[in-house]
Structure 1
Amino acid sequence: MSRYKVLLFDLDGTLLDTAPGIIRIVRYTMEKMGLEEPAEIRRFLGPPLFRSMKDFCGLDDERAWEAVRIYREKYPVDGLLESERFDGVEDLLGTLKDIGYVLGVATSKPEPFARNLLEHFDMAKYFTFIGGSGVDGARDTKREVIEYVLEALNVTDRSRVLMIGDRQHDIIGANECGLESLYVLWGYGSREEAKECGAPAIAETPADCRKYIMSQI
């Protein structure tokens, strides 16, 4: 094993390709709210939904929470399972777990949705704890989700934790929690975003991710 002991994974764009279902239900929500579809709708992939509604649609808090409510009523019924596997990710998880790492999930997705999705794809078995945002609006930042997962895993030494994700929010959230991080490129981000958010390391593929983790002695 490397110097890391605990590995935290983002979900959307890191563990699974959930883009088809998310984009379809965002469009449904825009229609129900009487809003025009914002440019570059793929920006909704990754960030907390409430903040995306505010930042990308210009909604105030009340309207943004209404949009979140509409989305969360529809998504688990018609969008959640409209997801696909990423090549190599399950091999990565299985290898890391077999070696002895403690694996956790830290996602901005509501926790019940995350658990149901990973159970559906038979991937929940790799993780000691699956943590997400609260359906009541709790833990609406990546920092809060990460802190919640660290507490659940009884982490005492943060120097031995690595946060792995595909968007700037994963890197920024990790920094705010005093964690090291790894930006992956098989999801929804880009090399440009990784550079802009100050990602300390980048992995293009799941195989590269494993090599990086194992090289950190």
Structure 2
Amino acid sequence: MNYDYILFDLDGTLTDPKLGITKSFAYALEHFDIHIENLDSLCKYIGPPIVDSFMDFGFSKEKALEAIDKYREYFKDYGIYENEVYKGVVQLLATLRSRNKKIMLATSKPEVFAKQILEHFELLEYFDFVGGSELNGDRSEKSEVIQYVLKEGKVTDLTKAVMIGDRKYDIFGAKEVGIDSIGVLNGYGDQEELIAAGADAIVASVWELVNREEFL
């Protein structure tokens, strides 16, 4: 299937945010006297809505929101830039642009931070629309973000749209909205997770998509 509207996840798909996100989580948890010795143990929280991640520690919704405030204390000044673009991303976006594809971002990360990251790495120019959650927690579920992006991008033919991401949340969100999905293995979800979620296709990395014209 060749798609005209390409929706990308951000964390674990276009960039590797591991250091910034795990350090921000550890900083927030320290506030509650939870000490993390191994930052790698926090990698599973790259992808899901952040409030759900803190509630996984047994926090109430109210306490999770307090933790998010602490997380952002570190993230907005430091963690946001402790990040790197995956190999092949710039070439992929440039290739899609040359093919007149409409490129959009659909992330559960707050939209304001997503735009800052894309601008910092000089990727913003490739995107027709950037969609994310609100700082107050609204629109944090992936399906909500995808619906928002499709609406703002004026996408009416859902058969021409595809969601590309590294976690089951991207795949589930795409299914709920009614578009196809492609899982990438360069991020934080493995093949078993993406198959179980029902991805329509799985590739080793976003780099591989450059040469997969049957998709893009």
Matches within 5 A, 1:171-186: 171-186=171-186
Where does the alignment leave 5 or more consecutive residues of structure 2 unmatched? none
The Cα shift of 1:216 comes to 4.4
The Cα shift of 1:19 comes to 0.9
Is residue 12 of structure 1 aligned with residue 17 of structure 2? no
Cα separation, 2, equivalents of 1:43 and 1:96: 30
Conservation of the 8 A alpha-carbon contact between 1:184 and 1:209: no
Where does the alignment leave 5 or more consecutive residues of structure 1 unmatched? none
Conservation of the 8 A alpha-carbon contact between 1:81 and 1:117: yes
Q: State the match for 2:133 in structure 1.
A: 133
TM-score between both structures, scaled by the size of structure 1: 0.94
The Cα shift of 1:211 comes to 3.6
Cα separation, 2, equivalents of 1:43 and 1:203: 20
> Percent identity, aligned pairs only?
42
The Cα shift of 1:206 comes to 2.6
Conservation of the 8 A alpha-carbon contact between 2:109 and 2:140: no
Cα separation, 1, equivalents of 2:35 and 2:60: 16
Q: State the match for 1:147 in structure 2.
A: 147
Conservation of the 8 A alpha-carbon contact between 1:146 and 1:173: yes
Q: State the match for 2:23 in structure 1.
A: 24
Is residue 123 of structure 1 aligned with residue 123 of structure 2? yes
Describe the SS at the equivalent of 2:114: helix
Is residue 42 of structure 1 aligned with residue 24 of structure 2? no
Taking a change above 3 Å as real, the CA distance of residues 113 and 216 of structure 1, as seen in their structure-2 partners, is: closer
The Cα shift of 1:36 comes to 4.6
The CA RMSD over aligned residues, in Å, is 1.6
The Cα shift of 1:165 comes to 0.3
Conservation of the 8 A alpha-carbon contact between 1:10 and 1:105: yes
Describe the SS at the equivalent of 1:195: helix
Taking a change above 3 Å as real, the CA distance of residues 20 and 102 of structure 1, as seen in their structure-2 partners, is: same
Conservation of the 8 A alpha-carbon contact between 1:164 and 1:184: yes
Q: State the match for 1:112 in structure 2.
A: 112
